[in-house]
Every structure is written in structure tokens, then in C-alpha cells.
Amino acid sequence: MRSGPGEAGDVAVGASDDATVGEVGEVGEVGDVTVGAAGGSRLADDLENVLRTWSAPDREQEALRESFLGHLVRHPDAVHRDGPPEHFTVGCVVLDAEGEQVLLTLHAKARRWFQLGGHIEPGDPSIAGAALREAVEESGLCARDLTVHPEPVLLDRHELPGAFGRCSAHLDIRYAAVARPGSQPRVSSESLDLAWWPADALPEGTAEELTPSVRAARAAVAALTPPALP
């Protein structure tokens, strides 16, 4: 059963006026890697930086990193939804302060539970900032209620059915975030429902890639959170 801090109501989402995109950490140093091969926009350059400097946790993720980078160099406009049918998106796995529960949305088109996320927008300050904005829009929380891990926790490529129109595949850059205790999520117009679920007991019918995403998010957040003092 779903449970957790804050009941998911039926109020339309909308970030408060004073919510800002911040606290997402600094973009990693580039070192001696040449950035700008994508030859695209500011966001394309930022994504290239993210992909070139990110340390993949295993061979499968490394293969995706190289594939994503190659696609970006060939199609720098893939950071935008009106770019090629196969384009980049961002995801944000939102956890509670203890890392025991995850906030999921019941997607209106897919009719399945997913992490929060969506398309990158031209006004986003960065790729991590895009993930934070999507989390704010889809959760009804304010930016100040969320602390976003500064680096991606997982990459995922998934093909899309016809209900998604011209989008044929999403190349998802997934981040992790922690919600402030007591924050109250609210359902957005893009969702049928929004709820906290136990991180180790996800609802039936969730996409296969959600489990490793939640696992990676919990590990990343735990690595940044000092253990409680005895």
C-alpha cells in the first residue's frame, strides 16, 4: 500500500512565486576534455559537459553514456522536444528524508507509475535545473522543499508508444532529490495520481527501469548524507 509524508490531493500543481531553481550543486570540472563538440545551445553544451564528466557505475551505463553523447553530438537540438523524435528528457527520483519512500506519479498517458520528469525547456538554467523544475511542476512542491543531487544517478533509454505522438524515444537523464520533512505534494494536471510508495515495495505495473533508478537514487543520497550520531 502507498503511504508516507503528505497526502497527495487533487489540487493542480503550481510552484509558488518565490520558488527558485537552485541548490543543485555545481557542474563538474571539465578537465582536459573538449566541450562544445555538439555545437548547439547553452543547454546542449551543459548536457555534453554532464555526459563527458559523469562516471558511469557499470558497463551498461557506460555504454548508454557513450550512446547518449554520440546522439547529442549528431543532434544538438535533441535537448528540445521539437528536435528529433528521439530526444533527451530529465527525470527526478524524489525520496523522503529517510530515503525509505519514493514519490511516484501515475502518468495520464502511460497509465503507469513513474518517477517525476519530462522534457527540457529552453528557459532551464541547466540540465539539473530542468530536473528540479519538472519535480516542482509535477509534485506541487516548492523548489526550496527539494534538494537535488548534483550529478545524474542513472541514464535510461525507453521507446514510446503511439500515444506520445511524434516522440519515438526518450533518452532520460535521471537525478535524485530529497524532499524536506513535512512538505505536501499535490497532483498535477499531467498525472492521474501522486503518492509516496515504499522504496523497496513499488506498486505493481511499474516500468522495469524504475527499480534500478530508485536503488541508484537511494545510494547516491545516502552517500551524501552523514550517518546519524549515536
Q: Which three cell numbers stand for residue 55?
A: 562516471
**Model pLDDT for residues 63-74, shown as the tens digit of each residue:** 999 999 999 999
pLDDT over 80 at 208, yes or no: no
Average pLDDT over the chain reads 81
Per-residue confidence at 191, pLDDT binned at 50, 70, 90? confident
Q: How far out from the chain centre does Cα 65 lie?
A: 16
Q: How far apart are CA 225 and CA 230, in angstroms?
A: 15
Q: Which domains does the chain have, with CATH numbers?
A: 42-224 (3.90.79.10)
**Model pLDDT for residues 144-157, shown as the tens digit of each residue:** 999 999 999 999 99
Contact in structure between 168 and 159 (CB atoms under 8 Å):
yes
Q: How far apart are CA 20 and CA 32, in angstroms?
A: 32
Q: Among residues 194, 226, 162, 132, which one has the least CA distance to residue 4?
A: 194
Over the range 42-64, which residues count as b (16 or more CB within 10 Å of their CB) and which as e?
ebbbbbbbbbbebebeeeebeeb
Q: How far apart are CA 214 and CA 200, in angstroms?
A: 9
Element spanning 87, H or E: strand 86-95
For position 19, what pLDDT does the model report?
A: 36
* Segment 211-224 mean pLDDT: 93
Q: Do you know the residue count of the chain? A: 230
pLDDT over 60 at 12, yes or no: no
